[in-house]
Amino acid sequence: MSLNYMIPASKFKRYLPKDYVELVDYGPFGKKYSEVGVKNMGTYKELVEEHPMCSGCWMSYYIKIIFASLPNPEDTVTIGTAGCGRLAISQAAVPFIYGNYGDQNAMASGITRAFRLRFPDRQKDVITIAGDGGMMDIGFSMTMHAWFRREKFTTIMLDNEVYGNTGGQESGMSVEGAVLKMSPKGKNFGKMPAMQLAITAGCVYVVKMSPTNINKASKAIRRAIFAARNLGPTFIHVYTSCNIEYSIPTPDVFRDAKEKEKRSFCI
């Protein structure tokens, strides 16, 4: 039913908002990835278009990549928590659950199991998308335990190395020495080893990247979703800078991402 449920009756169509109708007619629902996907961004009605993110926000770009990469957008549910990310994620034409602080992976555990009970022969993708604070600080226990329990869904951490949405406080993923709110003398320990934690906790597919290459970024997302369907938890740790809190001029955002790629976000 999943594809049909969003297609309006032909006579009803003209009363629906234009945005909705365009999504049905020109969106990625029910289409092959080769027809839509990241390579064709700009040629079809994307799942996220307008969003309230800051100018030059690298995170919003990555969120667009996530939604353009979904193998099955008409059967996907995203879950997030407080943070910048959900401002754009909630604008996507995919059901989004915004729960309490840091609870995304616990909530995903519940809904994934519920879907598997109710639709044993169908695939419904569950993806949690949250920031470094939501994943590795406040939601740490729920993130880790979902992995230990081998819950079959994808976790994506949008790591901007700071609490961007609450005004620039230090997070567990901030770099050592970073002078931020709540670390007025500089952070005195380094980034938490999220990737190693994920591997140790049993994730079957883990990627850590600065998404400078749109195809590679998309491929990682799709692999994470496919592996989560069949095998177990998957995790993508992605650098999505906060150009406001780290004072990166908009034209330099990409350069910053490339630098990160060379330093902390590569092998």
Using CB under 8 A, which residues numbered 139 to 158 contact another protein? 141-142, 144-145, 149
Judged by CB under 8 A, the chain residues 54 through 83 that form the site for another protein are 56, 61, 74-77, 79
Q: Does position 10 bind another protein by CB under 8 A?
A: no
Q: Does position 253 bind another protein by CB under 8 A?
A: yes
Nearest one of 246, 76, 44, 45 to 163, comparing CA atoms: 246
Q: Does position 87 bind another protein by CB under 8 A?
A: yes
Closest to another protein by CB, 61 or 246: 61
Closest to another protein by CB, 162 or 197: 197
Select the residue interacting with another protein from 17, 18, 188, 247 (CB under 8 A). 17
Q: Tell the smallest beta-carbon distance from residue 67 to another protein (Å).
A: 12
Q: How far is CA 79 from CA 44, 82, 177, 213, in A?
A: 25, 11, 32, 25
Nearest one of 78, 143, 153, 155 to 113, comparing CA atoms: 153
Q: Count the site residues for another protein by CB under 8 A.
A: 80
Residues 6+ apart with CB under 8 A from 196: none
Which of these ranges, 172-180, 182-190, 206-214, 241-249, lies near another protein under the rule CB under 8 A? 206-214
Is-contact 123 75, C-beta < 8 A?
A: yes
Q: Does position 188 bind another protein by CB under 8 A?
A: no
Residue carrying structure tokens 């938890």: 233
- x/- mask, another protein, residues 160-179, rule CB under 8 A, reads --------------------
CA–CA separation, 66 and 58 (whole Å): 13
CA–CA separation, 58 and 224 (whole Å): 21
Q: Does position 43 bind another protein by CB under 8 A?
A: no
Q: Tell the smallest beta-carbon distance from residue 44 to another protein (Å).
A: 14
CA–CA separation, 68 and 237 (whole Å): 18
Which of these ranges, 98-106, 156-164, 169-177, 181-189, lies near another protein under the rule CB under 8 A? 98-106
Residues 6+ apart with CB under 8 A from 110: none
Residue carrying structure tokens 């309490």: 100
